[in-house]
A and B are shown apart, each in its own frame.
Chain A
Amino acid sequence: MRVQFLATDNWYDLRDLSNLSSAILDGLDKIAPQGVVYVAAALIGFVAAFLIFVLPSQLFVGVLGERKLIGRIQSRYGPNRVGPYGVLQPIADALKLLTKESLTPVAADRLVMYMAPVLFVMPAVLMWAVIPFGPNMIFADIPVALVYFLAISSLPVLASFMAGWSHNNKYSLFGAMRIVAMAISYEIPLVLSLLGVVVLTETLSLQEMVFWQDRFDIWLFAVQPLAMIIYFIAVSAELNRTPTDIAEAESEIVAGYLTEYSGMKWGLFYGMDIGYALGAAAFGVTVFFGGWTLFGLEEWVPAWMIFVVKVWAFYFLFIWTRGTLPRLRIDQLMSFAWKYMLPLALFNLLIICTERILWTDAFDGDKPFIYLFAIANIIFAGLLILGWARLLGYRPERTQTRPRMVQEAGGYVPVAPARGEGR
């Protein structure tokens, strides 16, 4: 690790929160019986990672910030009644959901219906265990953090399907089927894009990836732009966010797998939807955008502050696409995943592996060549995206966006054939 931190080892130095936690744990080790310190460590990790960082982000950035931003995109204010500028809105929402009656349809499967939200929340909390907030601030620095994360993020699909199935409602069944089909299709490009990153950084641990980016002074986003784009699209599909939120397509199947949920069960689904989005944002930031480093700024500004701001910035991208783009149909989504994203991810892997071999064998792992590879990769990314699209039949110049104009009323005016076929 190259950076010398100004943070000292005093327990009150909050620039490195691990000081505080290790001070508490050392104290406990002295006074408590054997083994209690492990439980305490788990609790501290939960409190620190989830309750202090994640839950407020979820509430204030996820619920309130998203609604206000989307409102602004739609030329209206977001919530601004509850508290000044609406800051108490998430709390009001949570209170309302807690006091609402949780209806269960008579014909629904009660056990599965109660279990589904629990199964949905659990991975959202577990996922924050491996995200590094700072150099020593990671709850479980396991060497296979990436695989752990990918495994955990497949669990919500099961929970959503359980939810949709248990309602005994045709709309919910629709939503459940759509989710499963879509999640399976988009897992593969997601994993392949991350595989490229693994090949380059030679490690599966998230903390090591951050250190790699620190060591070479370049973000992996610049070295592998195509992987980052594929990751973004695939993870929005996994999270059921527009433009891929067909599972919860409000205008078609009236909330899909969430139709019969009300009260806090629905609140858990909704909140954890945002929680997963933040988790995916945190993961993307760690892998592609440098995690808690910012080219040396982390000497003065606390690393966890940099990290949280970056997560919010990445989450802003999610909000932006949600507010702007219409929704795709299920078969279009499937064909997009299998015919477009999967080949692109494979090409990306091919290019990365070639570059890696070149780098270690020909250039002996020197640093400047990474920058060369970055420029080459950006060019390749652009070429691949446009070229593969044209190969699949994308011809934007043939779409007529203006109608034909006639001056006289009459009968049928046949289309002039010289224009060529439409899209």
Chain B
Amino acid sequence: MTSPIKSEPFVINIGPQHPSTHGVFRMKVTVDGEQVVDAEMVIGYLHRSMEKLAEERTYTQNIPFTDRTDYLSSMSNNLGYCLAVEKLAGIDVPERGQAIRVIMAELQRIASHFMALGAFTNDTGAWQTPVMWCLREREKVLDLFEMTSGARLTCNYMRIGGVAFDIPKDFEPATRKLIKTLPGFIDELEGLLSGNEIFLARTKNVAVIPPDLAVNASLAGPMLRGSGIAWDLRKADPYCGYEKYDFAIPIGYQGDSYDRFIVRVEELRQSVKIIEQALDGLPGGPHSTQVPLALRPPKGEAYARVEGPRGELGYYVVSDEGPSPYRFHIRPPSLINLSVLKEMTVGGSVADAIVALGSVDIVVGEIDR
């Protein structure tokens, strides 16, 4: 009887420079053979102390900060912050401003999901073909952003009380052209990937999160919906007039990476539907209310949240009647979605750990702030 082969686990460092961790993110994975025994994350490579810096600047000057936390979904970030300050100061946004905000937020969701889907399929090994296709479509959305706000990525478009500028004349025809072609492309992407045997083999039953764990670990966004929990802030706690639009929430079956993938693809379709309704019902009127340059909200605190592409993006703002916030805290969905990193990766192989990380859809700017 031979003795069993002795093997000892060793630690691999995945990141911070790695072609497939989405940003400067480091994961220390303890591996025994090909199986993961332990996973631990090390973050802080992109920490820019935004929360402290925000205490030095006025409320309006903080809006570009929020752009740069989750740099792939800057419109949603801006929106969340503006909602928090408006709640604090009791400012109402006119109808046109709200409709424009909805259009921008949904366009941003489309752009961010394209990036997320592309990066995820890149992790599974599809040699950059889906990435290139998704980024090609994303370019069209970024062109719209550039037309409206002047910037492609960090748009800095929302202001407290509305939006910065009204939408230009060319925006509506260009957006209508885009939403006519986009569902065809989403079908093409689904045809390439959703039924693909190899893709299914890579993502099915990988990184399963049961629904109880999902709720207890404060997950949000497609991670929560992939596990079968029907929670979407646009339906549950509507802001900016979302209750007027008719759309559905996709939820998954068992909470594996494949479910999160199909949830994100379906959310693209629903976003297109919302944009179409918002464009059809775009009211006239002013696009924002006038607020004083050095806004001094009354004493108090407010917590406002939006459904960003990655989940519940919350802003906790405390005011002490000064021109700048007393405390400014961002609740980052990517960071809290990583609470279950260990549960997702332990037991699988290294390749599965990469796929699991890709399905969480992290943006390190938001994790580190």
- Among A328, A403, A408, contact of B259 (Cβ-Cβ < 8 Å): A403
| Docked-complex contact B228 and A415, CB < 8 angstroms | yes
Q: Do the beta carbons of B251 and A404 come within 8 Å of each other?
A: yes
A70, CB-defined interface residue at 8 Å: yes
Across-interface contacts of B227 in A (CB, < 8 A): 412
Residues on the A chain within 8 Å of B125, using CB: 242-243, 245, 249, 251-252, 326-328
Q: Which residues of chain A are within 8 angstroms of B266 by Cβ–Cβ distance?
A: 402-403, 405
A331 contacts which chain B residues (CB < 8 A)? 34, 349
Q: CA A306 – CA B131 in complex, angstroms?
A: 37
Q: Which residues of B contact A407 (CB under 8 A)?
A: 235, 248-249
A399's nearest neighbour on chain B, judged by CB, is B200
Residue A151 is within 8 A (CB to CB) of chain B in the complex: no
- B132 lies within 8 A of chain A by Cβ: yes
Cβ-defined contact, B126 with A327, below 8 A: yes
List residues of chain A with CB within 8 A of the CB of B351: 246, 249, 252, 329-330
Considering only residues 247-290 of chain B, those with a C-beta below 8 Å from chain A are 248-254, 259, 262-263, 266
List chain B residues, Cβ under 8 A from A396.
Answer: 195, 197
Residue A103 at the chain B interface, CB threshold 8 Å: no
Contact B354–A328 (Cβ < 8 Å): no
Q: Does B19 contact A (CB under 8 A)?
A: yes
User: Beta-carbon contacts of B209-250 to A below 8 Å, as 1s and 0s?
Assistant: 001000100000000010111111101100000000000111
Stretch at the interface among B65-73, B76-84, B116-124: B116-124
Q: Is the CB of A408 within 8 A of B200?
A: no
Tell whether, in the assembled complex, residue B195 and residue A399 are in contact, meaning their CB atoms are under 8 Å apart. yes
Interface presence of B20 (CB below 8 A): yes
Chain A CB within 8 A of B171 CB: no
Give bound CA distance, A245 to B351, whole Å: 13
Docked Cα-Cα span, A330 to B350, in Å, equals 10
Q: Does B204 lie within 8 Å of A422, measured CB to CB? A: yes
The distance in angstroms between the C-alpha atoms of A401 and B230, with both chains bound, is 18
Closest CB in chain A relative to B150 CB, distance in Å: 27
Question: Is the Cβ of A401 less than 8 Å from the Cβ of B129?
Answer: no
Taken together as a complex, chains A and B put the C-alpha atoms of A210 and B259 apart, in Å, by 51
Contact at A400–B229, with CB atoms within 8 Å? no
Count of A residues near B, CB < 8 Å?
Answer: 49
Within 8 Å of chain A (Cβ to Cβ): is B201?
A: yes
**CB within 8 Å of B: which A380-418 residues:** 396, 399-415
How far does the alpha carbon of A329 sit from the alpha carbon of B125 in the complex, in Å? 10
CB pair B133 A74 closer than 8 Å: yes
State whether B128 touches A74 (Cβ < 8 A). Answer: yes
Interchain CA distance A331-B225 in the complex, whole Å? 29
In the complex the two chains form, what is the Cα distance from A406 to B10 in whole Å?
45
Which residues in B have some Cβ–Cβ distance to A below 8 Å? Answer: 10, 12, 18-20, 34, 121-129, 131-133, 136, 190, 192, 194-202, 204, 211, 215, 225, 227-233, 235-236, 248-254, 259, 262-263, 266, 349-352, 354
Query: Which residues of chain A have a CB within 8 Å of any CB of chain B?
Result: 70, 73-76, 170-171, 174, 242-243, 245-246, 249-254, 322-332, 396, 399-415, 422-423
- Closest 4 A-B residue pairs measured CB to CB? A327-B125, A409-B236, A74-B132, A403-B250
A-B contact pairs, 24 of them (CB 8 A): A73-B129, A75-B133, A174-B350, A243-B125, A246-B351, A251-B19, A251-B125, A252-B20, A252-B350, A253-B350, A325-B198, A326-B126, A326-B198, A328-B198, A328-B202, A330-B351, A399-B195, A401-B190, A401-B262, A405-B249, A408-B235, A410-B230, A412-B227, A423-B200
Given A249-B125, A414-B228, list of 15 further CB < 8 A pairs?
Answer: A75-B136, A251-B19, A251-B354, A252-B125, A323-B127, A328-B201, A330-B349, A332-B201, A402-B194, A405-B251, A407-B235, A410-B230, A413-B228, A413-B229, A413-B251
